[in-house]
C-alpha cells in the first residue's frame, strides 16, 4: 500500500463518512496530500555530498469556504498530512531540518475548490513565525539575520549542518563494491544478476494498469489506450452524472505508458491537485476534480490497458 493510500485510510478514520458526501464541491484532503508530496519533490535541493534537502514547513492556503469547512479537522489533518510527507521523504532517502509541520491558512483571494501550497526550510522547527524564507530563497543563498556568511558557491550555503546520511545497502557477501561485479570463483552467482554482474532480464514483465476511481461510489474505470473521454454526455467513455460536468469535459489520453489529462474546453474547467490545468501528465494518486466530482488516478500492476 502506497503512502497516499495509507493517508486515505487514516482520513476515513478521521472523517468517518464517505469523502464525496463531506467534501463535494470543496477542496478534497487527498488533493492536499498529493500536492504536499509533489511540493516536497519539486523543492528538493542538493546541499553537498549527494545529500538532498527538502522543506520541513508547509502552509496550505485555502479559500474562506474550504478553510472554515476543514477547520473542524484541522489538528488531525495537519498531523496526518505531516506524517504522510515524512514517510514520502524517508522513502526517497531525503533529509529535513527537524520534524515536518503542515498548517492551514485562510486566503480570501482563493475561490472554493482551489488551494495553494507554500513551503519553507525552517532551521527552528518549533518556530511559528511567518517570516521564514521560501525554499527558493534558501536555494539562492538565504541566511537568517546575524548568520555567518558562507563562501560563495559552497554547498549548503546559508543552511545549518545536514544530518549524516544513513549508509546505503551493502552488497551481498562475497560480492565486490560498486557495480558489485562477479562473485569470487567457487561462489554461486547473485540471484537476478548474470555471470559478469549484468542484470538478468525477468522472464515476464508485469503489465501496468491505468484506472480512474470515482470518489464516493468508489467506481473503478480501467483506461484504454488512446482517448478516454469523461463527461455527462452519452458519447463519453466514462459518464459522470454531475450537472457541473460538461458533456465532453476532459480527455485522459493513454499512450506509451503515460496518462495525460486534456481539458476539452469545459465550462467549469479541470482541477488536478488543486490547480486548474489545460493539460498535465498524471502520476499515481493524482486527484482530478470536474464539477462536483472527484476522480483519483491509479497506476499499478494489473492486466494492463485494453486496445
Closest by CA position to 125, among listed 99, 105, 145: 99
Same domain, 110 and 212: no
Same domain assignment for residues 212 and 115:
no
The residue out of 87, 120, 153 marking a domain boundary is 120
Q: Tell me how far apart the terminal alpha carbons of the chain are, to the nearest angstrom.
A: 28
Between CA 104 and CA 107 the distance in angstroms is 10
Determine, yes or no, domain membership for 169: no
Residue 157 has pLDDT above 50, yes or no: no
Q: Is residue 10 part of a domain?
A: yes
Compute CA 14 distance to the chain's CA centroid, rounded to the nearest angstrom.
Answer: 21
**Residue in 192, 195, 223, 191 with CA at minimum distance from that of residue 209:** 223
Same domain? For 111 and 7 the reply is yes
In terms of domains, do 107 and 213 share one? no
pLDDT for 155 equals 42
Within a domain: residue 20?
yes
The residue among 153 and 304 whose pLDDT is bigger is: 304
- Position 29 in a domain: yes
pLDDT value, residue 231: 95
- Last residue of one domain, picked from the residues 120, 136, 154: 120
pLDDT in tens, 36-57: 988 898 888 888 777 898 999 9
Residue 193 lies in a domain: no
Q: Is the CA virtual torsion 175, 179, 185, 188 positive or negative?
A: positive
Beta bridge partners of 255: 258
CATH number for the domain spanning 240: value is 2.60.200.20
* CB 263, CB 277: distance < 8 Å: yes
Whether the predicted pLDDT of 86 surpasses 80 = yes
Instruction: Give the pLDDT score at 24.
Output: 57
Q: Which among 113, 116, 115 has a CA at the least distance from the CA of 23?
A: 113
> What average pLDDT is seen over the chain?
74
Model confidence at 147, pLDDT cuts 50, 70, 90, reads very low
pLDDT, one tens digit per residue, over 55-77 is 999 999 998 988 998 888 888 88
Q: Which three cell numbers stand for residue 196?
A: 559478469
Same domain assignment for residues 7 and 103: yes
Q: Are residues 7 and 114 in the same domain?
A: yes
Beta bridge partner(s), residue 46: 52
Whether 212 and 103 share a structural domain: no
81 compared with 48, residue with greater pLDDT: 81
Model pLDDT, residue 306: 58
Residues 6+ apart with CB under 8 A from 255: 225, 226
Q: Identify whether 53 is part of a domain.
A: yes
Using CA atoms, how far apart are residues 86 and 132, in angstroms rounded to an integer?
20
The region of weakest confidence among 78-87, 228-237, 253-262 is 78-87
CATH of the domain at 110: 3.30.2320.60
Residue 229 scores a pLDDT above 90: yes
Phi, psi of 65, deg, nearest 5 = -65, -45
- The domain tally of the chain equals 2
pLDDT at 136 over 70: no
Asked if residue 217 and residue 115 are part of one domain, the reply reads: no
What are the tens digits of pLDDT across the range 176-210?
A: 444 444 545 555 554 544 444 455 545 445 678 99
Please state the length of the chain. 307
Give the mean pLDDT of 155-170.
Answer: 46
The CA distance from 180 to 212, in Å, is 41
Q: Give the domain extent around 9.
A: 3-120
SS3 string, 255-307, reads ECCEEEEEECCCCCCEEECCEECCEEECCCCCEEEECCEEEEEEEEECCCCCC
Q: Is residue 203 part of a domain?
A: no
SS3 45: strand
**pLDDT tops 50 at residue 131:** no
Where does a domain end: 100, 120, 140?
A: 120
pTM, two decimal places: 0.54
CA distance 180 to 156: 31
Q: Looking at the domain assignment, is residue 155 inside a domain?
A: no
Amino acid at each position: 500500500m502506497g503512502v497516499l493510500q495509507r493517508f486515505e485510510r487514516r482520513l476515513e478514520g478521521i472523517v468517518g463518512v464517505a469523502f464525496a458526501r463531506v467534501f463535494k464541491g470543496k477542496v478534497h484532503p487527498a488533493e492536499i496530500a498529493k500536492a504536499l508530496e509533489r511540493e516536497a519533490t519539486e523543492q528538493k535541493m542538493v546541499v553537498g555530498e549527494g545529500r538532498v534537502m527538502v522543506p520541513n514547513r508547509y502552509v496550505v492556503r485555502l479559500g474562506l469556504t474550504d478553510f472554515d469547512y476543514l477547520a473542524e479537522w484541522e489538528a488531525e489533518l495537519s498531523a496526518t498530512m505531516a506524517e504522510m510527507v515524512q514517510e514520502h521523504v524517508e522513502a526517497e532517502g531525503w533529509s529535513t531540518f527537524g520534524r515536518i509541520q503542515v498548517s492551514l491558512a485562510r486566503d480570501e483571494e482563493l475561490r472554493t475548490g482551489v488551494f495553494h501550497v507554500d513551503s519553507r526550510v525552517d532551521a527552528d522547527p518549533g518556530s511559528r513565525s511567518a517570516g521564514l524564507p521560501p525554499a527558493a530563497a534558501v536555494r539562492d543563498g538565504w541566511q537568517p539575520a546575524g548568520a555567518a556568511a558562507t563562501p560563495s558557491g559552497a554547498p549548503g550555503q546559508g543552511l545549518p549542518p545536514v544530518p549524516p546520511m544513513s549508509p546505503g545497502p551493502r552488497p551481498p557477501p562475497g560480492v565486490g563494491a560498486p557495480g558489485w561485479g562477479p562473485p569470487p570463483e567457487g561462489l554461486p552467482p547473485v540471484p537476478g544478476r548474470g555471470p559478469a554482474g549484468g542484470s538478468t532480464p525477468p522472464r515476464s514483465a508485469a503489465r501496468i494498469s491505468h484506472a480512474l476511481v470515482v470518489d464516493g461510489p468508489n467506481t473503478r474505470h480501467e483506461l484504454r489506450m488512446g482517448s478516454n473521454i469523461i463527461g455527462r454526455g452519452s458519447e463519453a467513455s466514462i459518464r459522470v452524472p454531475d450537472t457541473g460536468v460538461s458533456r465532453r469535459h476532459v480527455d485522459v489520453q493513454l499512450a506509451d505508458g503515460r496518462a495525460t489529462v486534456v481539458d476539452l474546453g469545459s465550462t467549469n474547467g479541470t482541477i488536478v491537485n488543486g490547480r486548474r490545468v489545460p493539460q498535465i501528465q498524471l502520476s499515481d494518486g493524482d486527484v482530478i476534480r470536474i464539477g462536483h466530482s472527484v476522480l483519483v488516478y491509479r497506476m499499478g500492476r494489473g492486466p494492463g490497458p485494453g486496445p
